[in-house]
DNA sequence: TGAATTAATGTAAACGCTTACATTTTAATG
DNA sequence: CATTAAAATGTAAGCGTTTACATTAATTCA
């Protein structure tokens, strides 16, 4: 049978309460006793059962992480930030993807209600009002990632999609392009919408007429980037530059360009959003918007831990939007492609 | 207070044993009673606490996954396979990276000993003998991923690195190259070693003399690929082709080539190993070895679940090496770069 | 030195479930 | 119907901790 607290108590000639006090470093215990118990525990390689502890304390030291998908540069890096933070606070991570096809909501509820975790980091860029119900039902604190900005009243972290899109659009404009197209992200996706708004506003602010025929729907996938770009290029009225709402779609655009013999940026400039690793090895290197994704994860986790530990009021709304920055490659026409110092650029995050 | 089994029992006018039977669909319960309990449970949104259940059953329905790193195409895909399988069996995943700098062993022990998980999938390509101790100490079943092949006596899943390397080397040879170099992976890494062996044996079998000066150490990172390749290219005696031990290093090679104005494959052919996504968007597309990585994850998980459920003897050694296949791009000189049907190729796994 | 503190330890009741075993109901059988 | 078997339910003992409260030992102080 597995060795438990009783065993240690018996072997040490004390009560289990004392053993517990020692294992938790809590409450007064004579040095001598403590030493002895510690030694015996060590000899027998005893570790308090987290499960039993969880039952008694109503705390699991585990954080739930719910992402739309697991496979993706983007999500990986989020997890990385989360993991680093969790690890440094001795918390465990329970990850789960709400794979679009499954019933996210149900999964989430189960997760939270079950008492399996002390708190949840939830990324659901496509959820709107439903999310209020879900979160309010939960007794555990929840931090939202990259959700609709209207989600105030809740705690959320995200990146400043609007500003990033605005900046990169202005960058295109600064090149002198007037006819600028965009392949958008999913219709009901908070981030996609913000990027679109930034795009439109940048045009407007710079006195460029917004032409709806230059804007084509997409869904953040390579395929939709490929098709969207192809379609845009096939139109009568040609654009001079295209803002792909994310890098994945930009990759699709590169492929499409290759296919229809269009040269980037000579024939058309292309920019993206996200600054994922593959964009850095495209030729020419993609001009895109860098988002501090690892930091996003760690910040969210950090805040969640504070909510759990009561350092901040879990009820208090809190929103943070991390700022973005441009990464200039050669795809926008900047002729910056060979200036780069390759290695650091390729490995930074 | 959170609603528990007692509450449901009281409200339903039965004992907690009956409620438990209903919630677990186990043991005889009158239809009528069952219905009633189910309804009440539903109304109150009652879900048995997994923690308490875990204590009582000594089972957590959670699987621990320990990877060297979280951030990497490679690991992502592994997790994906694992996740899919876990999900379809209603298991939860506790992931953790043993970040090289941390004490893997300790973490692993803690993980397993703690009773937090029912089993563990462990990827530790750099561990050798130590692993026996660790695993034998564990009362939970463990499945090894991509470890040293000598690990028999244990349960492990991996890919056939040797054969993959052998095949791709022969492919280079079939192009007529005689002077073939290699940038190796980390010294004490099972996979790296197997790839090196496959390389050497392919040369030997084809009557090509193995020249140690053509082989340069690396560590699977972009940087080491960059430097290794640069060094190789800088040597007096030039190679005609290089086998980079993984795709990441191949990416580094591409960058280096660009830097020193060498054209792939005209000046030198380059091939990789892993078939990660970014390799598909390199120009020219990288010729590499595809490994069924998602499948690897799901197979490992599948087997682990069988061990846990007693469908297979957890003590019985078991080894599987999934087979690899070549992905022909243009980097080997095959002039295959434009033949590809882009979209499927870019998104398959 | 005895009373009053304070430190050290112990007792036992949770925590929310599962499950072996006991008991009661119901159904089947002769 | 009484008897027996089967079905339905209940009782209570875990599972391995934590922790409020009680008890005992050590220390301090007038």
Mutation target to probe the B interface, by most B beta carbons within 10 A, among A3, A41, A50 is: A50
Residue A42 confidence class, pLDDT cut points 50, 70, 90: very high
Residue nearest to nucleotide D26 (CA to C1'): A30
In this structure, what token pair is assigned to residue A170? 């202005």
Nucleotide nearest to B8 (CA to C1'): C16
Nucleotide nearest to A15 (CA to C1'): C10
Q: Using an 8 Å CB-CB cutoff, list chain B residues near A66.
A: none
Q: Using an 8 Å CB-CB cutoff, list chain B residues near A1.
A: none
CA neighbours within 13 Å on the CB side: how many for B228?
Answer: 31
| Percent of chain B's residues with pLDDT above 70 | 91
Q: What is the DSSP letter of A328?
A: -
In this structure, what token pair is assigned to residue A156? 């959320």
Mean pLDDT across A114-133: 83
Is pLDDT above 50 for B334? yes
- Is B343 close to A223, i.e. CB distance below 8 A? yes
Question: Pairing between strand A325-327 and A288-290?
Answer: antiparallel
Q: Using an 8 Å CB-CB cutoff, list chain B residues near A137.
A: 45
pTM, 2 dp: 0.88
| Range in A310-324, B129-143, B195-209, B328-342 the model is least confident about | B328-342
Q: Are B65 and B120 in contact (CB under 8 A)?
A: yes
Give the bridge partners for B158, in sequence order.
B321
Three-class SS state of B265:
coil
Place of tokens 């790193």: B69
pLDDT value for A150 = 65
pLDDT value for B340 = 47
Q: Using an 8 Å CB-CB cutoff, list chain B residues near A139.
A: 2
Residue nearest to nucleotide C16 (CA to C1'): B52
Place of tokens 């060094």: B231
Give the bridge partners for B123, in sequence order.
B145
| Facing residue for B347 by CB, picked from A83, A94, A223 | A223
Q: Using an 8 Å CB-CB cutoff, list chain A residues near B222.
A: 343, 346-347
> Strand D: which residues have Cβ below 7 Å from it?
A 1-2, 4-6, 16-17, 20-21, 23-24, 26, 46-49, 51-53, 55-57; B 13-18, 21, 27-34, 52, 55-56, 58
- Whole-Å CA distances, B311 to A155, A305, B138, B215, B303: 45, 40, 19, 46, 9
pLDDT value for B349 = 42
Place of tokens 């660790």: B134
d(CA A98, CA A333): 39
Q: Are B154 and B188 in contact (CB under 8 A)?
A: no
B61-CA/D5-C1' distance, Å: 37
**Exposure letters B176-199 (e unless 16+ CB within 10 A, then b):** ebeebbbbbbbeebbbbbbbbebb
pLDDT value for B126 = 76
Is pLDDT above 50 for B43? yes
Mean pLDDT across A248-265: 95
What is chain A's alpha carbon radius of gyration, rounded to the nearest angstrom? 26
Helix, strand, coil distribution of chain A in percent, nearest 5:
45, 15, 40
The whole-chain average pLDDT of chain A stands at 89
- Is B94 close to A62, i.e. CB distance below 8 A? yes
Question: Pairing between strand B325-327 and B288-290?
Answer: antiparallel
pLDDT tens, residue by residue, B219-269? 999 999 999 999 999 999 999 999 999 999 999 999 999 999 999 999 999
* Domains along chain A with CATH numbers: 5-48 (1.10.260.40), 62-159+293-322 (3.40.50.2300), 161-292+326-347 (3.40.50.2300)
- Is A115 close to B343, i.e. CB distance below 8 A? no
Is pLDDT above 50 for B339? no
- Whole-Å CA distances, B41 to B30, B37, B53, B79, B347: 16, 6, 17, 34, 44
Nearest Cα residue in chain A from B252: A343
Which is more confident, B347 or A176?
A176
pLDDT value for A341 = 46
d(CA A194, CA A203): 14
d(CA A49, CA A51): 5
Of the candidates B275, B271, B276, B274, the one whose C-alpha atom is nearest the C-alpha of residue B287 is B271
Which is more confident, A140 or B126?
A140
pLDDT tens, residue by residue, A139-169? 889 999 987 766 678 999 999 999 999 999 9
For A125-171, strand residue ranges (E) read 142-145, 155-159
Please return the burial class of A266, using the count of CB atoms within 10 Å of its CB with bins 0-12, 13-18 and 19+: exposed
Q: What is the DSSP letter of B154?
A: B
Is pLDDT above 70 for A348? no
| Facing residue for B95 by CB, picked from A95, A338, A347 | A95
pLDDT value for B230 = 97
pLDDT tens, residue by residue, A51-82? 999 999 999 999 999 888 766 777 888 888 99
Is pLDDT above 80 for A45? yes
């Amino acid at each position: 049978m597995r060795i438990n607290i009783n065993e240690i108590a018996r072997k040490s000639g004390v009560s289990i309460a004392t053993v517990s006090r020692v294992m938790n470093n809590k409450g007064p215990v004579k040095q001598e006793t403590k030493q002895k118990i510690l030694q015996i525990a060590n000899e027998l390689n005893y570790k308090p059962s987290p499960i039993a502890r969880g039952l008694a304390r109503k705390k699991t030291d585990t954080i739930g992480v719910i992402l739309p998908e697991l496979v993706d540069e983007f999500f990986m890096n989020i997890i990385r930030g989360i993991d680093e933070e969790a690890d440094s606070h001795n918390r465990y991570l329970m990850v789960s993807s709400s794979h679009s096809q499954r019933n996210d909501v149900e999964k989430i509820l189960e997760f939270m209600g079950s008492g399996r975790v002390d708190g949840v980091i939830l990324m659901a860029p496509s959820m709107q009002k439903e999310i209020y119900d879900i979160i309010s039902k939960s007794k555990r604190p929840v931090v939202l990632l990259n959700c609709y900005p209207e989600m105030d009243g809740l705690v959320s972290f995200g990146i400043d999609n609007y500003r990033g899109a605005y900046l990169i659009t202005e960058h295109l404009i600064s090149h002198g392009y007037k006819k600028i197209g965009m392949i958008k992200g999913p219709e009901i996706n908070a981030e996609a919408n913000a990027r679109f708004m930034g795009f439109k506003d940048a045009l407007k602010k710079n006195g460029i007429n917004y032409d709806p025929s230059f804007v084509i729907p997409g869904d953040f996938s390579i395929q939709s980037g490929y098709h969207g770009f192809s379609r845009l290029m096939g139109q009568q009225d040609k654009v001079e530059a295209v803002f792909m709402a994310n890098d994945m779609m930009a990759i699709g655009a590169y492929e499409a360009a290759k296919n229809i013999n269009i040269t980037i940026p000579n024939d058309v400039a292309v920019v993206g959003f996200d600054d994922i690793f593959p964009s850095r090895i495209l030729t020419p290197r993609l001009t895109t918007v860098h988002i501090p994704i690892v930091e996003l994860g760690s910040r969210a986790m950090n805040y969640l831990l504070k909510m759990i530990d009561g350092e901040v009021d879990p009820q208090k709304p809190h929103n943070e939007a991390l700022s973005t920055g441009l990464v200039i490659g050669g795809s926008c026409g900047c002729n910056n492609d060979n200036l780069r110092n390759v290695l650091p650029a390729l490995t930074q995050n």
